[in-house]
Homo-oligomer: A and B are copies of this chain.
Amino acid sequence: MNYPNGKNKVKNNNINYGNRGMNLEEDLNITNEYYLETNTAVIYKKPTPIVINHVNYPNRYDAVITDARFKIPSTTDYNGIYNGKYIDFEAKETASLTSFPLANIHKHQIVHLKKITEHGGIGFIIVSFSRLNRLFLLKAEDLFYFIDNNNRKSIPLAYFEERAKEMKVTLRPRIDYLKYIDIE
């Protein structure tokens, strides 16, 4: 095989993110398992918050939830510890080709990320532009900067290109996002 330049070589190692039938959440869960196995970090996705209205007990060893509703989350989906530091982030996919709609992140999740950074934690969002096959890590501070200085309902792709880290999807780990928070 012939790699005329580095760019092509990198492309070849990439997984075509948009067409795999996999999703961002799955890839992050697999990455977090890898971090656990390699003793790199202890980071988990939180369970989906629900309100349970009714549980059936068909026998003494079994419990079946038969009526429950989804609840709006108060926090981000992922948190844990890396290198002695508290880590906290939200991950979202968008089909947009030009911008990331802020409606994808609940207001109290942004408030939560703000508190985390104030208390000395590392906060960020991971955004996948799935149809562009591009993946970014945007530090919470840069997210706040955009919101505080723009009266817009979405963050343009150009802002990600300028301020975020573009991440590669690889085989193992899938999305080595901790590598991208080291570079500062």
Contact = CB atoms under 8 A, between A and B. Distances in A.
Interface of A: 36, 39, 41-42, 44, 46-50, 52, 63-71, 74-75, 79-86, 88, 112, 115-116, 118-121
A85 B86 contact: yes
Contacts of A121: 42, 81, 84
Enumerate the 9 nearest inter-chain pairs by beta-carbon distance, A residue then B residue, closest first. A84-B120, A47-B49, A65-B68, A81-B86, A86-B86, A47-B47, A81-B119, A81-B121, A42-B115
A121 B63 CA distance: 34
A150 B120 CA distance: 38
A74 B69 CA distance: 23
A134 to B, nearest CB: 30
Given A48-B52, A65-B65, A84-B119, 17 more contacts: A41-B119, A42-B112, A42-B116, A42-B119, A42-B121, A46-B47, A47-B71, A50-B68, A63-B70, A64-B69, A65-B70, A66-B66, A79-B79, A79-B80, A81-B119, A82-B119, A84-B120
